[in-house]
Amino acid sequence: MSDSTSSRARRPYRVTFVCTGNICRSPMAEHVLRKYVEDEGLPAVVDSSGTGGWHAGDPADHRTVRTLRRHGFTSDHSARRFHRGWFDDYDLVIALDESHRQELWALARDDRDRAKIRLLRSFDPAAGQDLDVPDPYYEDDEAFEHVMELIERAVPGILDEIRRGLKETAG
């Protein structure tokens, strides 16, 4: 098999967002970042998944869809669960809160996998100490709007990370 750098150079930079059930926070982050990536023409693929599989195959929560559409983003989605072997497929695995980061850390096979895991709000220089994106599932539309705001604040930092990763592989 060829070395990871040459095989990495032949494919787009890959990002996945991970929350609990993959119906609220992570699909929202997926659609927001995907639009920015497409607008910049970056060779990157963005998707999402959850730490649990009970919503597998379900669309995004109707409040997530409503929030995305209200802000001009797409919303087509089918929930799925993150699997250990997927670390090989991603350059960046972004957890939406500390519990997701811990679950991903436990799934990671080695330091290489763990190095790919980051918290979404760690990309927002103004985030402070609280890096969790709160779960809006049991809340109202205002909570979904707050999640959208937190995601939007992190996007510039994530785009910078993608650009850095693409430069490293271009050599």
Residues marked active site are found at 19, 25, 135
Determine phi and psi for 54, rounding to 5 degrees.
-65, -20
Residue closest to 28 by CA, chosen among 111, 133, 157: 133
Which tokens in the block code for residue 12?
Answer: 């787009």
Contact between 25 and 135 under an 8 Å Cβ cutoff? The reply is yes
Rounded Cα distance, 64 and 67, in Å: 5
Which tokens in the block code for residue 108?
Answer: 């990671």
**147 exposure class (CB count in 10 Å sphere: 0-12, 13-18, 19+):** buried
Amino acid at 170: A
User: At CA 160, angle to CA 101 and CA 163, rounded to 5?
Assistant: 110
